[in-house]
Structure 1
Amino acid sequence: MADTMQFDLVAPERNLMSVPVREVRLPGADGDLAAMPGHTPAIVNLRPGLVTVVDDKGSEHEFAISGGFAEINNDSISLLAEIGRERSEMTQEVFDDMMRTAIRKKEAAEAREEKSGAAETAVAAAVKLLADMEALGSHIGLDPNSSSVPR
């Protein structure tokens, strides 16, 4: 078994990383997990959080994501993020934009529920998304209650 695997992190606006890695720690929707070479193949839904990548030299890299999914194979991981930024790029302004997106998703789910009366699980998922975004901001030292984000 090899001691590295190929890792690709892609967000809609750009390819964030493509390198051989020893380990990738992911914020899974059903719980955090680590993937290493030889991992059982899986597709994992991701929640907002930090992705930690340990490259082939042992250096750690962190990325904040707003969600997405990862396809894990025994020799590669492809992560498609809804929104993704290097941890060093996460300013209050960038985080506020991510929060506004989460709030819009919650409001849209509530509006659909109001119209149809049957979208309760979509509202619950949107509320959880917003809570996960707030937790991400708090974890990395940004204010989830910034005055520039309307509530």
Structure 2
Amino acid sequence: MLAELHVELVAADRKVWSGEATIVVARTASGDIGIMPGHSPLLSVLESDPVTIRTTDGGTVVAAVHGGFISFSDNKLSILAEIAELADEIDVERAERAFERAKSEADAVAEKRAAIRLRAATGTY
């Protein structure tokens, strides 16, 4: 079995992350999926949720991903997101304010988006 796969995480406006990984975990329309080297080819719709990438150097990259597609073939994984932010790019205080504002305004879409950002950045919500 191969030891690594190449990952490209791309948002509509920029390349968010690129590198080698041992596993990527994402939520698709069919449920959560883990992609490891040698996985069978895949094309699926992404659900809004954090994506976790375990890098070959033992690190972890987490990104808040809002919609898009995931594709795997020939040991290359492409995550094409409408919106994506790395966890370390997220301003937690700002996301908490957005979450509270969305709750008070009963804006379910904004509340979910803020909760995903907070989950990616802090592991909670």
Give the TM-score normalised by structure 1: 0.64
Q: Distance in 2 between matches of 1:10 and 1:137?
A: 17
Q: Distance in 1 between matches of 2:28 and 2:49?
A: 9
Give SS of 1:66's match: strand
Residue 85 of structure 2 aligns with which residue?
Answer: 85
Q: How does 1:1-150 map to 2 (within 5 A)?
A: 1-91=1-91, 92-93=93-94, 96=98, 132-133=112-113, 135-137=115-117, 139=119, 140=121
Q: Distance in 2 between matches of 1:38 and 1:20?
A: 14
Going by fraction, where is helix more abundant, 1 or 2? 1
Going by fraction, where is strand more abundant, 1 or 2? 2
Larger radius of gyration: 1
Gapped regions of structure 1 (runs ≥ 5): 101-105, 107-126, 145-151
Residue 112 of structure 1 aligns with which residue?
Answer: none
Structure 1 residue 94: Cα displacement: 6.2
Give SS of 1:61's match: strand
Measured on the aligned residues, the alpha-carbon RMSD in Å equals: 2.7
Give the TM-score normalised by structure 2: 0.76
Gapped regions of structure 2 (runs ≥ 5): none
Larger RCO (CA under 8 A, 6+ residues apart) = 2
Structure 1 residue 40: Cα displacement: 0.8
Q: Distance in 2 between matches of 1:133 and 1:29?
A: 17
